Amino acid sequence: MTGPLPDGYPSLRASHGPPAAYRDQADAVSDHPYRGTVTTVYLPDELSPAVVRPRPHVEAVLAQSLHEMGPRGRTALAWQWALTGTRPSPVTLSLAPGCPPSREEILAEAAAEPEGSTAPPGVPADFRDQFRETRAVLAWLAGGTDEVPVHADNRGRFIGARGDYARTDEEMRQVRELTRDALREGDLPDPMSASDARHPWRWEPGWMNAAWLRGVRDLLDWVLGETAAAPLCGRSVGLPSTSHLHYEDAAANLVVMQGRPGGVPVDPGRYPPPQYGEGLQAAIRWVRGETAAAPVDAAGRGPYLYSSDRR
């Protein structure tokens, strides 16, 4: 969305800096909760180093965010503060610093206790005053999460992804290829002795890593449409959407609890190894944008064999 915006979208333009009116802090913290209006969000010619998103993604998500939430409220304020620092901070309502905040400051603001909440007693503050949306915008801009901070269906389109995914198919393929390469170098033994299969938590790290990689690989194969049936549920749904991942995630809960206190006994004839379920769930979290780190590192290693540069 880098061309003209559809009718009804708040204006969005690049600028060397906002007009003088946007530097005025007179209404910044008066009459809590914040009731100012940001009718135009100005994008600097160069985004602050604190913003980890490509400019086209910022432009597209910003336009949709303002279209959904409107120019009045904390969400619009979050964009202006994080991008330029010329408005008050959106959660704590601190005075405008006059320059873009650092990444650490953005993430701290996203996690801060709110100032001026209108939530009644007993109602969490984030249920009012756009606090959830505000925190989501800040965390996304600074890389605290990769979940696209809009409510629209198919929100992946704002970052070049499919459906509601937070990763493009090419990004998924790259990670999937890492798992395939790593498994060619070291996989689970075939055949495996019955004794070893019944004690997956006694395996050497290399075997645990292989089981993790298999879970990641199989989930991505399915999401990419290269395997018809879901890895655990066996469902065939064509090209899976993010909503279909809920069933796999739930099925993996039982798998990962094998041999753990409060879980189920290890059953190699019925379930894959527990580390398989862990890898599958990590892949789900990643493709949905709930975690920023891929389920394997650049060397194709999961958490059982992380390379030193990942620690």
Query: What is residue 238's predicted lDDT score, i.e. its pLDDT?
Result: 87
| pLDDT above 50: residue 218 | yes
- pLDDT, mean of residues 166-176: 97
| Mean pLDDT over each residue of the chain, to the nearest integer | 85
pLDDT tens digits along 226-247: 999 999 999 898 899 999 999 9
DSSP 201: G
**Angle formed by the axes of helices 74-84 and 131-142, nearest 10°:** 20
Tell me how far CA of residue 2 lies from CA of 62, 125, 229, 233, in angstroms.
11, 35, 37, 40
Q: How far apart are CA 275 and CA 303, in angstroms?
A: 10
Scanning the structure block, which residue is given the tokens 């704002």? 158
Tell me how far CA of residue 132 lies from CA of 84, 91, 95, 120, 173, in angstroms.
21, 10, 21, 16, 32
Q: Which long-range contacts (CB under 8 A, 24 or more apart) does 93-99 make?
A: 93/28, 93/29, 93/32, 93/34, 95/25, 95/28, 95/29, 96/23, 96/25, 96/28, 98/23
Between 41 and 138, whose confidence is greater?
Answer: 138
Domain boundaries, the chain: 11-159, 169-310
Q: How far apart are CA 263 and CA 6, in angstroms?
A: 52
Q: Are 28 and 92 in contact (CB under 8 A)?
A: no
- pLDDT, mean of residues 213-224: 98
Scanning the structure block, which residue is given the tokens 């993430």? 107
Query: What is residue 127's predicted lDDT score, i.e. its pLDDT?
Result: 63
| pLDDT above 50: residue 3 | no
Query: What is residue 67's predicted lDDT score, i.e. its pLDDT?
Result: 93
Query: What is residue 29's predicted lDDT score, i.e. its pLDDT?
Result: 30
Q: How far apart are CA 232 and CA 255, in angstroms?
A: 9
Sign of CA dihedral 59, 100, 89, 132: positive
pLDDT tens digits along 100-145: 999 999 999 999 988 877 767 766 666 667 999 999 999 999 999 9
pLDDT tens digits along 257-301: 999 988 899 999 999 999 999 999 999 999 999 999 999 999 999
Quote the tokens at residue 59.
């432009």
